[in-house]
């Protein structure tokens, strides 16, 4: 009875985690842009304002008469969603630990993103020859690299032993009648 209760609890955990991912995916990643646009724009503006005469109108930060528009791609909403997918698709993490992982991951990504915008902004307003190549490098690989590094940092910090998706699939397979049938056949040989 205790084993059945534990299995039911684990199955419910899987169901809830993936339900959250689907519920967020249905309206799209718009929610990440809604939350993280102001959290990215305002700190970026304040950081520029520490060093330069700066103004802000909507999502456009003007630094020394150079307009820097913070578009959706700059916010990296998909990167936040990818982090959430990695975190929620990993089993055997208690709720309070999972909340800490999400909070730390999102905070790190936000900080790195603000610093990226500031660094690129400095290159842009100084009319550096390296702006275009730096912008393209960050555009094509920066967010992905940030997500991978943040995920591995979380694995190390929180001593995560499970593998996203894979560990859930192995658990579900071991609960299946196919697996139980296979074990039964092995025992009968």
pLDDT category at 2 given cuts 50, 70, 90 is: confident
Is residue 188 over pLDDT 80? no
Mutual angle of helices 95-125 and 77-88, in 10-degree steps: 160
So what's the pLDDT on residue 187?
A: 67
Q: How far apart are CA 77 and CA 99, in angstroms?
A: 19
Q: What 3-state DSSP class applies to 141?
A: helix
pLDDT in tens, 104-127: 999 999 999 999 999 999 999 999
Write out pLDDT tens, residues 48-58: 999 999 999 99
Q: 60-63 and 66-69 as β-strands: parallel, antiparallel, unpaired?
A: antiparallel
Helix, strand, coil in percent for the chain, rounding step 5: 75, 5, 20
Q: How confident is the model at residue 185 (pLDDT cuts 50, 70, 90)?
A: low
Q: Residue 126: which of 51, 33, 41 has the closest Cα?
A: 51
State both tokens at 21.
């991912």
What are the sequence ranges of the domains in the chain?
A: 2-26+73-180
């Amino acid at each position: 009875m205790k084993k059945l209760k534990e299995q039911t609890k684990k199955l419910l955990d899987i169901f809830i985690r993936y339900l959250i991912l689907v519920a967020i995916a249905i309206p799209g990643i718009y929610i990440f842009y809604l939350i993280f646009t102001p959290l990215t724009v305002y700190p970026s503006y304040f950081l520029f304002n520490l060093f330069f005469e700066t103004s802000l109108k909507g999502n456009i930060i003007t630094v020394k008469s150079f307009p820097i528009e913070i578009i959706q791609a700059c916010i990296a909403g998909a990167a936040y969603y990818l982090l959430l997918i990695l975190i929620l698709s990993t089993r055997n993490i208690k709720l309070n630990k999972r909340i800490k992982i999400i909070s730390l991951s999102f905070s790190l990504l936000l900080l790195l993103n603000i610093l990226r915008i500031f660094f690129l902004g400095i290159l842009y307003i100084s009319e550096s020859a390296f702006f275009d190549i730096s912008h393209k490098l960050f555009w094509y690989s920066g967010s992905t690299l940030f997500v991978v590094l943040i995920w591995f940092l979380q694995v190390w910090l929180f001593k995560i032993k499970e593998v996203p998706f894979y560990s859930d699939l192995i658990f579900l397979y071991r609960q299946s009648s196919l697996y139980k049938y296979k074990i039964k056949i092995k025992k009968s040989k």
